Structure 1
Amino acid sequence: MASASQAVASEDVALSVRDLTVSLPAGMERAHAVENVSFDLKRGQILCIIGESGSGKSVTANAIMGLLPKAIRVTSGSIDLNGTDIVAISPDKLRNLRGRVVSMIFQDPLSALNPLMTVGAQIEEVMAAHDVGTAKSRRSRAIDLLVEVGLPDPQLMYHQYPFRLSGGQRQRVMIAMALALEPAILIADEPTTALDVTTQAQILKLIRDIQRRKGMSVMFITHDFGVVAEIADSVVVMEKGHCVEQGSAEQVLKSPSHLYTRRLIAAVPHLTGKDRNPLEAADRASILKVECLVKTYRSGSALFRTQRIVPAVNGVSFDLTQGRTLGVVGESGSGKSSLGRLLIKLMESDGGSIFFEGRDVARLTEAEFRPLRPKIQMIFQDPFASLNPRSTVGQILTVGPVAHGVPHREAGERARELLSHVGLDSGAFDRYPHEFSGGQRQRVGIARALMFKPQLLIADEAVSALDVSIQAQILKLLDQIQRETGVSMIFITHDLRVASQICDEIAVMHRGQIIERGPPSQIFLDPKSAYTRELVAAIPGEQPRGARALAGVNEYRRDTAKNEERS
């Protein structure tokens, strides 16, 4: 009787991982990337694997796909896929399963897609690698897949290169490639981490709809319990290579048994509905005043009628007083990052004024603006890309002040003080960026921005790619720094939950314009604009509240559809 029930149970399991251990090279901070991990992915269900960076989530996925780098290897355990232990089979047999039986959506589609091949050619390549269909049938199938994942004008999209697509469109192309051979199992490795809330909601809905329509099994890797609440049937929680908790999504979300799980859930930012307690300061003078700022991008040729004109920033105006934080929120392409670059003069504006300390810096030449640069500093979205990999952290922090005349010794002492202040030990001074985690690199970026004791900090998506627990630490650190130094901040983000935690005022950008502005309580609980209501409604794991929270969402969607048809 027991054997019969076990047979039935095994038929319900698409993927079974038992006692999986993946060893790391000698000299690493721990011996194993994952150790004795066991879980089942049931047929037709979505299993979310959640944990911080370094917990072993992606290593587990890569082990299932047979994509582990040579430096690390599976040392024990089994991965049973439809009765086949893929740990023990040859690379050729595993290659035959990859894409056809189990397929993967990667976290960063831009680096996963070939920049020299068109979208259509890359989808067809998946089918050609398994000798499926003719050239004509593969092309037809590729276009059908582009339709299925909801990309506009599939015939045109087929001939586009990845760099011409938005982040959400590139992720849809990755999904189309993953679905090309109708796999039974889909592994999605953080596919929505860097996407804005509306695009994230669209990708989550797309994956869920495809999974239900095709009866697929999905293993979804994430660090956001908001995403888990949206799509998961069951959950596995990983910490430092170990599985610390697993169960149904309802059970883990509502009654977590492990302290680590409770800590992850507590770290998820939520719309507070409360305004931030302002800093106590007698002087509320305006430190930054922007009037009718304009930036237009032009590409193509007017002569050949291929010119494309995009108003990235279109008549933006706002004031920022000392010691306060203005949040700038909106979807990708709304003009947020362009506004940040204009404010720090990383690019020139086409019109308007930027008054900093009463002086219009928009009209200054680079030579005239250079003495003001120490007073306006930026924290970039990707700390790894913005830190020089060939320089130690000490060199990265001191090179700017030394270039502005600060003695080496004084700059070094200041750098060590700031590293301690942002929560890094003294040994960090002599280490290189690649030796740090993402959260630690972002702390280095914050320390670098503070080296000049700036009056204005511009944080461009400074926490968007971080785990929720590291995100909470960085937000707490920025709040602490502001309360200690009185620095003013422009906080650019696509995550409305994060904005509600740290901002005194929110400006909502859409198509280069600020369409709504106010305190967090008004923006999130009683939004006036249909677009803002759409943003709030798209937040994963959040139920919009307030009288106006849901009203107008359909109206916005209808207007957007009409505008897209016209364009």
Structure 2
Amino acid sequence: MTPQYQTDGATGPALSVRGLTIDLPKDMERRHAVEDISFDLQDGQILCIVGESGSGKSVTANTIMGLLPSSIRVSAGEIHLGGAEAGELIGAAPATLRNLRGRVVSMIFQDPLSALNPLMTVGEQITEVLTAHGVGTREWQRARVIELLTEVSLPDPQLMYHQYPFRLSGGQRQRVMIAMALALEPKILIADEPTTALDVTTQAQILHLIRDIQRRKGMSVMFITHDFGVVAEIADSVVVMEKGRIVETGSADAVLKSPSHPYTKRLIAAVPALTGENRAAASNAAPEPIIRVEGLGKTYRIGSALFGGEYLVKAVQDVSFEIGPGRTLGIVGESGSGKSSLGRLLVKLQDGNGGRILFEGRDIVPLSDAEFRPLRPKIQMIFQDPFASLNPRSTIGHILTVGPVAHGMDYPKARKEAQALLSHVGLDAGAFERYPHEFSGGQRQRIGIARALMFKPKLLVADEAVSALDVSIQAQILELLDQIQRETGVSMIFITHDLRVASQICDEIAVMQKGRIVEQGPPSQIFLDPRSAYTRELVDAIPGRMPAEARLSALN
């Protein structure tokens, strides 16, 4: 029997969740992924669900979409879809759910690389959504896809239509996912951390785009996030979750101005603040740089010269900098600016087209793989996409210990150090025997950080190392990296799109635009007195720079 839900006016909620409980497999750290949660997504409004990694936000979203893995099951509760497509979603036939997905309820997934088909071009994947629901002719579909790629601010949509996901940056892949979800302008949009991987200017564009479409089409949005800056920008109402339970609900204005639960207060307090203060130099700092980069360049060739469709993309152009022991250089810029390409060049995951990389005085650019192998433990990388960089067939223990053991460390010692690092990054001892798919996106990122630290490297290249983490864990990881740096003297190249984070951990910051460094200096210069117009645009787009009262007034 369907319960009588409270309604907002004559239409009622677009989606109602009542008493939902989802069981986890045995031997997990807790019994339920979510336990007895109830909330309404009102028609034509934006509901933000906020909480730390592992709080049950994504599990709730996947349950609504009918995408739960077989190891997790709903043991109680109901999810009722309102409006013209009214019906109960739990227990619905697979054909019914397929008909609703994309057309009525659509989802932007947290991990774009694993959600996109690596064997299909971007254009083919978005077109597939339209074709599956029999919408439009082939010519109309192509025009619609180009329109969507333009709407989400992807560069050169005509070229992007023919690209494969692996050729795109993390932020660009996320925008493709957003375009795909909006293709049929669904009545309900579930957005699972859709702006986490985006730079500040693109984040503002995407939030504006979602809000604009939501208002024009009367769409209801369930927006999952850990960033209260995003909540202040777009939310009508807020649900705060902790360890599978709802601890606070209310309007965005009420929750932001007068949070009642201690957990909500902690989350708001943990949001990183922009600081223009320069870091004190480490006591073990030395004048000789650990790494010096001179005129580094990387050009990608895309397409085929044989058929006249070859394009040259200058990802890195004449980049030069140096870092001393125990110092951190932040690399900031928009998605596609060349930050990640620069990181891969520094750890020799790809070869450049010119320039030198002097590591401890030795140029590593001309070294073969065999010659560079003894140096690889000294230069480690924390990758942007933790799911793609972790072997799904290996336990976390094996992932963390296989490298050190291969380089001569005894397994008992490697196991002990791995377990200690897991504890340091906020994971319990049971994580050692589990597999990557059993962890949330933020938890997988912490595993990637622990793996890099296993080698006690001299240079750590962190590519968006905290972008997938909630604000409280993010603060812990930044503190951990700072502590490790001061204890060991490791140098860091910290690649990030979040300028607030860069201001807290970096000694010097380099701003990249279209493959070039357009400005470089200490945080006091970059954030308080930027000299480049591009840098000023980035700083002005930082969430939280606007006074709280002004940001909250935008909700009205």
- Quote the residue 1:536 is aligned against: 539
CA 1:117–1:414: 2 relative to 1, 3 Å: closer
- Quote the residue 2:22 is aligned against: 22
SS in 1 for 2:365: helix
Q: Deviations over 1:275-317 (max 9, x none)?
A: 2233223634322222112222223344544332222221111
Structure 1: segments with no counterpart, 5+ residues: 546-567
> What is the rounded CA distance, in whole Å, between the counterparts of 1:397 and 1:152 in structure 2?
38
> What is the rounded CA distance, in whole Å, between the counterparts of 2:143 and 2:113 in structure 1?
24
Checking the alignment, whether the CA contact within 8 Å between 2:66 and 2:90 is kept in structure 1 is: no
AA aligned opposite 2:215? R
CA 1:33–1:299: 2 relative to 1, 3 Å: same
Q: Deviations over 1:465-514 (max 9, x none)?
A: 22222211111110111111121111111211111111111111112211
> What is the rounded CA distance, in whole Å, between the counterparts of 1:164 and 1:38 in structure 2?
41
CA 1:9–1:485: 2 relative to 1, 3 Å: same
Shift of 1:236: 0.9
- Quote the residue 2:325 is aligned against: 322
- Quote the residue 1:369 is aligned against: 372
Shift of 1:173: 4.5
CA 1:472–1:389: 2 relative to 1, 3 Å: same
Shift of 1:129: 3.9
- Quote the residue 1:500 is aligned against: 503
Checking the alignment, whether the CA contact within 8 Å between 1:171 and 1:191 is kept in structure 2 is: yes
- Quote the residue 1:290 is aligned against: 293
Q: Deviations over 1:71-108 (max 9, x none)?
A: 43433333333263414674244444443333322233
CA 1:169–1:327: 2 relative to 1, 3 Å: closer
Shift of 1:125: 4.2
CA 1:62–1:495: 2 relative to 1, 3 Å: same
> What is the rounded CA distance, in whole Å, between the counterparts of 1:413 and 1:164 in structure 2?
38
- Higher mean alpha-carbon deviation, 399-408 vs 482-491, is at 399-408
- Higher mean alpha-carbon deviation, 14-23 vs 422-431, is at 422-431
- Quote the residue 1:60 is aligned against: 60
- Higher mean alpha-carbon deviation, 130-139 vs 327-336, is at 130-139
Aligned length: 541
Shift of 1:533: 1.6
- Quote the residue 2:88 is aligned against: 86
Shift of 1:235: 0.9
- Quote the residue 1:246 is aligned against: 249
Checking the alignment, whether the CA contact within 8 Å between 2:442 and 2:468 is kept in structure 1 is: no
Matches within 5 A, 1:228-239: 228-239=231-242
> What is the rounded CA distance, in whole Å, between the counterparts of 1:387 and 1:148 in structure 2?
33
Matches within 5 A, 1:40-119: 40-82=40-82, 84-87=86-89, 90-91=92-93, 92-117=95-120, 119=122
Checking the alignment, whether the CA contact within 8 Å between 1:19 and 1:36 is kept in structure 2 is: yes
- Larger C-alpha radius of gyration, 1 or 2? 1
- Quote the residue 1:199 is aligned against: 202
Which of 184, 189, 195 aligns to 1:186? It is 189
Checking the alignment, whether the CA contact within 8 Å between 1:168 and 1:203 is kept in structure 2 is: no
- Quote the residue 2:407 is aligned against: 404
Does residue 351 (structure 1) correspond to residue 354 (structure 2)? The answer is yes
Checking the alignment, whether the CA contact within 8 Å between 2:114 and 2:387 is kept in structure 1 is: no
CA 1:131–1:512: 2 relative to 1, 3 Å: closer
Structure 2: segments with no counterpart, 5+ residues: 549-556
Does residue 342 (structure 1) correspond to residue 345 (structure 2)? The answer is yes
Checking the alignment, whether the CA contact within 8 Å between 2:285 and 2:327 is kept in structure 1 is: no
CA 1:246–1:526: 2 relative to 1, 3 Å: same
AA aligned opposite 1:315? D
- Quote the residue 1:36 is aligned against: 36
AA aligned opposite 1:75? S
Q: Deviations over 1:382-401 (max 9, x none)?
A: 34433444444454444434
CA 1:362–1:33: 2 relative to 1, 3 Å: same
> What is the rounded CA distance, in whole Å, between the counterparts of 2:7 and 2:386 in structure 1?
50
- Quote the residue 1:564 is aligned against: none
Checking the alignment, whether the CA contact within 8 Å between 2:285 and 2:324 is kept in structure 1 is: no
AA aligned opposite 2:189? L
Matches within 5 A, 1:377-456: 377-408=380-411, 411-412=414-415, 414-415=417-418, 418-419=421-422, 432-434=435-437, 438-456=441-459
Does residue 471 (structure 1) correspond to residue 460 (structure 2)? The answer is no
Shift of 1:49: 0.9
Q: Percent identity?
A: 76
Shift of 1:414: 4.9
AA aligned opposite 1:532? T
Which of 256, 262, 266 aligns to 1:259? It is 262
- Quote the residue 2:551 is aligned against: none
